């Protein structure tokens, strides 16, 4: 797997990542569902490469992070992994694009269960960079459940409960063995112990988007769609 030194790659704040997402959608017309698909495919690929699980439990929130986890569940199932999904909220409470991903998962007969199952790997797709305050309710319960498992946890974009700008870990916060962040590293992930090994995945952000936002970004994904960030 390709790796780069952290000093050679710019790191973004949550606000800068929001600007990247907005430019992708409004200026380039790459839709959220396309970015979510890229995120999910790469998340599944990293899960297989690094952890080689036979069974996976995906914990999915109601927003874009959860949608990426649901897309990963589909790709893992297609690769022969036994996958179970547990939602932090009911399917009726999901945003439209994650709801579309859930519909696909349901049609594929991937089990969506109310209580998470112990598995070789837990995928944390509960909360992305939109964290506000401490996780609460069912989301908090699922974070605590994941942290209590003997199996490793792979987080999508950020460990749920970790502020991607400040690195502040809310209570509770996922303690990940590895984190796959998207597009570029985030400032708060670089030194947070909750992150584990940090990887970054290609979600097809054109160089023009970074140029317009005055971010000097290298061509990270010339050799692979997943890159390890060396600490």
What would the pLDDT profile of 88-139 be if each residue is shown by its tens digit? 988 778 889 999 999 999 999 999 999 999 999 999 999 998 778 899 999 9
The burial class, CB within 10 Å (0-12 / 13-18 / 19+), for 216 is exposed
Instruction: Return the domain boundaries, the chain.
Output: 2-230
Contact 156, 39 (CB under 8 A): yes
DSSP-based three-state secondary structure for 112: strand
d(CA 144, CA 92): 24
CATH architecture of the domain covering 2-230 = 3-Layer(aba) Sandwich (3.40)
pTM listed for this prediction = 0.96
CB neighbours of residue 139 within 10 Å:
20
Residue 156's closest CA among 190, 133, 177, 179? 179
**Alpha-carbon distances, residue 114 vs 74, 83, 117, 164 (angstroms):** 18, 14, 9, 29
The DSSP secondary-structure symbol of 118 reads P
Task: Please write the tens of the pLDDT for every residue from 38-84.
Answer: 999 999 999 999 999 999 999 999 999 999 999 999 999 999 999 99
CA distance 65 to 167: 18
Give pLDDT, residue 91: 75
Mean pLDDT in residue range 19-46: 94
């Amino acid at each position: 797997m390709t790796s780069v030194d952290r000093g050679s790659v710019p790191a973004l704040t949550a606000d800068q990542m929001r600007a990247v997402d907005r430019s992708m959608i409004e200026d380039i017309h790459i839709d959220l569902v396309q970015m979510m698909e890229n995120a999910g495919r790469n998340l599944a690929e990293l899960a297989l490469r690094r952890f080689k699980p036979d069974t996976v439990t995906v914990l999915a929130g109601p927003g874009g992070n959860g949608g990426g986890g649901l897309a990963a569940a589909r790709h893992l199932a297609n690769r022969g992994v036994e996958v179970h999904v547990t939602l932090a909220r009911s399917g009726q409470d999901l945003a439209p694009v994650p709801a579309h991903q859930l519909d696909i998962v349901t049609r594929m007969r991937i089990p969506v269960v109310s209580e998470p199952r112990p598995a070789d790997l837990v995928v944390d797709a509960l909360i992305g960079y939109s964290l506000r305050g401490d996780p609460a309710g069912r989301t908090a319960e699922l974070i605590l459940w994941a942290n209590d498992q003997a199996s490793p946890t792979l987080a999508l974009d950020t460990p749920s409960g970790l502020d991607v700008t400040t690195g502040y870990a809310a209570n509770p916060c996922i303690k990940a063995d590895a984190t796959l962040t998207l597009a570029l590293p985030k400032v708060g992930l670089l030194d947070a112990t909750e992150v584990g090994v940090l990887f970054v995945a290609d979600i097809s952000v054109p160089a023009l988007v970074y140029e317009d936002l005055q971010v000097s970004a290298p061509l990270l994904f010339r050799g692979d769609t997943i890159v390890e960030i060396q600490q």
